[in-house]
Amino acid sequence: MSAALSGAVDLSALKARADASRQQPAAPSPGGPQPQAPTGAVFEVTEASFQADVVERSLQQLVIVDLWADWCGPCKQLSPVLERLAGQAGGAWVLAKVDVDANPRIAQLFGAQSIPTVVAIAGGQPVDAFAGALPEPEVKKWLNALLDALKDKLPSIRDAQPAAEAEVPEDPRFTEAEDAFERGDYSAAEAAYQRILDTEPANELAKAALTQVRFAARAEQADPSAVARADADPADLHAQLAAADFEVAQNKIEDAFARLISTIRRTFGDDRNRVREHLVGLFELFDPADERVAKARRDLASALF
């Protein structure tokens, strides 16, 4: 399971709460409409409906849970991508959206440390997850790997009739960038996203994608020995930056932040500014509300001033 989930996840944790909610006396409504399970590809989920609409449904169908909030900027980039892909999936999977402000216990259940966090549920249990607003090509790659792994286990995947993606208009500029990213041509992807920003400086999707592409290029070259070299020689600035990249790629976020902040405390002038810029660039990979980022920003301010 992805490191986006911390610790073991027991989805039965909300069952008692959901059962209690369903057992509460309700006003009689003879002949009136009865609650129905959601039938669309995208639907909202609450703590009370989680057991039925996510856990039980996942016994037959892959359920992707999107943990989001209205104040979360990266959520506004990722959610439309997930919703569009769910509409194209032809029933292979469905998207369950959870407003974490209204349903905090669900976020706590998954140990989500930041949002957006996306969790795949199959057979009543989480099978994978990721955090952050990944570029659409990476989201597709993640979903395709899940569907391939589960195709012999869930009938909904075998019977799915995907919608034609041509029905959804695509921006050729993003298509060019995404194709380059999928090929592993990070230089071409970076150039394509930069061209979008040259004409649309406020395009948040392109900004987020460019940040992810630049880090992906560095992470691919990350040297596991950099951590040992950096620990052995604190004055080796290049090793410190490389070690931080490797640690972020390994989801050791706090270690990476602490390493660079310690380096900032020891350096001055251009060296200090180089490390600070690298650290701020790493912050941009995460939700600004992520407590790890918030703490590191406070520590950075203390180190600088």
Q: Is 42 helix (H, G, I), strand (E, B) or coil?
A: strand
CB atoms within 10 A of CB 12: 10
Decide if 72 is catalytic. yes
Q: Tell me if residue 183 is catalytic.
A: no
CA gap 280, 284 in Å, rounded: 7
Other CB atoms closer than 10 Å to residue 291's CB: what's the count?
A: 10
**Contacts with 169 (C-beta within 8 Å, 6 or more apart), sequence order:** none
Catalytic residue, from 11, 64, 72, 261: name it.
72
Kindly state the tokens that stand for 122: 């199959």
Residue whose tokens read 């059962």: 19
d(CA 46, CA 57) in angstroms, rounded, equals 14
**Closest by Cα among 287, 194, 278 to 243:** 278
Token code pair at residue 88: 């194209």
As given in the structure block, the two tokens for residue 149 are 């792994």
Instruction: Give the Cα separation of 89 and 77 in Å (integer).
Output: 19
d(CA 114, CA 68): 9
Pairing assessment for the beta strands 62-68 and 117-122 based on DSSP bridges: antiparallel
The alpha helices in 125-221, defined as continuous H runs, are 136-150, 155-159, 172-183, 186-199, 204-220
Annotated catalytic residue within 11, 75, 89, 118? 75
Indicate which residues carry an active-site annotation.
72, 75
